[in-house]
Structure 1
Amino acid sequence: MAHRRPRVAIISLHTSPLDQPGTGDAGGMNVYVRSAAVRLASCGMDVDVFTRRRSPEAAEICELAPGAEVVQVSAGPRAPVPKEDLPRHFPEFLEGVRRRARLVGGYDLVHTHYWLSGEVGRIACEDWGAPLVASFHTLAKVKNRSLAPGEPPEPPERLRGETETIACADRVVAATPTEAAQLAGLYGAEPERIRLVPPGVDHGLFSPRPRREVAERLHMADVRLLLFVGRLQAHKGPDVAVRTLAEVLARDPVGARDVVLAIAGGPSGSGSGAEVARIMDLATALGVQERVMLFPPQPQARLADFYAAAEVVLVPSRSESFGLVALEAQACGTPVVAARVGGLRYVVRDGVTGYLVEGHDAADHAERVLRLLDDRDLAARMGRAGVEHSMRFSWDVTARELRGVYEELLEAPA
Structure 2
Amino acid sequence: MNTQQKRIAFISEHASPLASLGGVDTGGQNVYVAQLAKHLASQGYQVDVFTRREKEDAPEIVNWVRGVRVINVTAGPAQIIIKEDILQYMDDFRDNMIAFIIDQQLHYTLVHANFFMSALVAMGIKKELDIPFAVTFHALGHVRRIHQAEADKFPAERLLIEELAVQQADRIIAECPQDKEDLINYYNAPEDKITIIPCGFSSSEFYPIDKECARKITGLPQNEHILLQLGRMVPRKGIDNVIRALGKMKHTGKPVKLVVVGGECEELEEETCPEFARLMDVVRQNGVEGSVIFTGRKDRSELKYYYAAADVFITTPWYEPFGITPLEAMACGTPVIGSNVGGIKYSVADGETGWLVPPHDPEALADKLDEVIGDGVELYRAGDNAIKRVNEHFTWAEVARQVHLLYRNMQPVIARPLVTLSSNEQAA
* Same fold per superposition (TM over 0.5): yes
Distance 1:135 1:389, change over 3 A: same
Alpha carbons 1:227, 1:314 under 8 Å: kept: yes
Could you tell me how far 1:91 is from its partner in structure 2? 2.3
1:200 counterpart SS class: coil
Q: Deviations over 1:288-334 (max 9, x none)?
A: 12322112332232101100001111110111111211111111111
Structure-1 separation of matches of 2:342 and 2:213: 34
Could you tell me how far 1:52 is from its partner in structure 2? 0.6
Structure-1 separation of matches of 2:226 and 2:61: 41
Partner of 1:320: 320
Structure-2 separation of matches of 1:138 and 1:399: 20
Q: Deviations over 1:34-82 (max 9, x none)?
A: 0111111121221100001112232222223222111111222221112
Could you tell me how far 1:199 is from its partner in structure 2? 1.5
Structure-2 separation of matches of 1:324 and 1:9: 23
2:86 counterpart SS class: helix
- Structure 2 residue corresponding to 1:255, chosen from 253, 256, 259: 253
Amino acid at match of 1:68: V
Could you tell me how far 1:338 is from its partner in structure 2? 0.5
Amino acid at match of 1:106: H
Partner of 2:148: 147
Structure-1 separation of matches of 2:3 and 2:82: 43
Structure-2 separation of matches of 1:357 and 1:217: 31
1:341 counterpart SS class: coil
Structure-2 separation of matches of 1:152 and 1:405: 32
Provide structure 1 residue ranges, at least 5 long, that are not aligned to the other structure.
none
- Is 2:81 the partner of 1:84? no
Structure-2 separation of matches of 1:338 and 1:144: 22
Could you tell me how far 1:27 is from its partner in structure 2? 0.8
Partner of 2:226: 225
Alpha carbons 1:239, 1:279 under 8 Å: kept: yes
Partner of 1:118: 119
1:227 counterpart SS class: strand
RMSD: 1.9
Distance 1:27 1:122, change over 3 A: same
Partner of 1:169: 169
Alpha carbons 2:207, 2:333 under 8 Å: kept: yes
Alpha carbons 1:210, 1:308 under 8 Å: kept: yes
1:203 counterpart SS class: coil
Amino acid at match of 1:255: G
Could you tell me how far 1:413 is from its partner in structure 2? 6.5
Structure-2 separation of matches of 1:154 and 1:357: 29
Q: Deviations over 1:359-389 (max 9, x none)?
A: 3210101111122212111111111011111
Structure-1 separation of matches of 2:291 and 2:303: 20
TM normalised by structure 1 equals 0.93
Amino acid at match of 1:265: G
1:166 counterpart SS class: helix
Q: How many residues of Structure 1 are paired with residues of Structure 2 in the alignment?
A: 406
Partner of 1:159: 159
Amino acid at match of 1:126: K
Distance 1:390 1:406, change over 3 A: same
Partner of 1:127: 128
Structure-2 separation of matches of 1:198 and 1:330: 15
Structure-1 separation of matches of 2:237 and 2:170: 31
- 1:323-362 equivalences under 5 Å are 323-362=323-362
Could you tell me how far 1:107 is from its partner in structure 2? 1.7
- Is 2:4 the partner of 1:4? yes
Alpha carbons 2:9, 2:49 under 8 Å: kept: yes
Amino acid at match of 2:253: G
TM normalised by structure 2 equals 0.90
% identical aligned pairs? 33
Alpha carbons 2:132, 2:413 under 8 Å: kept: no
Amino acid at match of 1:138: A
Q: Deviations over 1:146-196 (max 9, x none)?
A: 339x74465422211211111111110011112111111111111100011
Partner of 2:287: 287
Could you tell me how far 1:214 is from its partner in structure 2? 0.7
Structure-1 separation of matches of 2:314 and 2:49: 32
Amino acid at match of 1:167: Q
